[in-house]
Amino acid sequence: MQMDRRAAAGLIVAAPAAAFATSGDSPKQAYFAKSPMSSPFGEVYTNQGSRLWTELGETERGIFTRIAVKTKQQLDEIVGYIQKKDWDRARSALRLYTYETRQSMTRLTSASGDPEAAKLFKTFKRQIEQTDLALYKKDEAKADALLQGASSSYSSWLEVVGISV
């Protein structure tokens, strides 16, 4: 079978471009880090140099409050998986809602304007990353302690931003 010359030339020209092509937004490994965020409603989207949302509206606040309350329940469920030594389920549950949780915490922290909320958010991010690593290593005592600490930090954050559970 002989290839058309134009098709061959197209392949030769397109091959280097395909080699350097980047894929679209997909889930990334760093769950709370700033750069690899993958969310359709992220703050990175702009409209001619300005953010699409500048303050929380009533609907947006309701959505983020619901996510924050649900996250607290999910953290409590993960403790049960650790006690059962169900490592895969614990890691899956920890990772499942991290994008929503991060977006909710980011928006509610910035809306509160409280430096204590930002400090607790930073602490929570670090504890969740460490918990994920402990779950990967199947270290029950460390994972449980880190998750309890993360849950405590999250509860404190909820109080600072004004959400009651």
The token duo for 38 is 């993958």
Assigned domain for 34 exists:
no
pLDDT-based confidence at residue 118 (cuts at 50, 70, 90): very high
Task: Pick the closest to residue 52 from 40, 65, 43 (CA basis).
Answer: 43
Quickly state the pLDDT bin for 71 (edges 50, 70, 90).
confident
| pTM of the predicted structure, to 2 decimals | 0.62
Q: Which residues form the domain of 139?
A: 46-161
Q: For residue 41, tell me if it sits in a domain.
A: no
State pLDDT tens for residues 79-100: 888 888 888 898 988 888 787 8
- Judge whether 115 lies within some domain: yes
Rounded CA-CA distance 84/80 in Å is 6
Q: What is the CATH number of the domain that holds 121?
A: 1.20.120.290
Q: Is residue 76 part of a domain?
A: yes
Whether 54 maps to a domain, the answer reads yes
Residue 28 lies in a domain: no
Q: Is residue 24 part of a domain?
A: no
Contact present, 55 and 103 (Cβ < 8 Å): no
Within a domain: 122: yes
Residue 144 DSSP SS3: helix
Total of domains in the chain: 1
**Bridge partners of 18?**
none
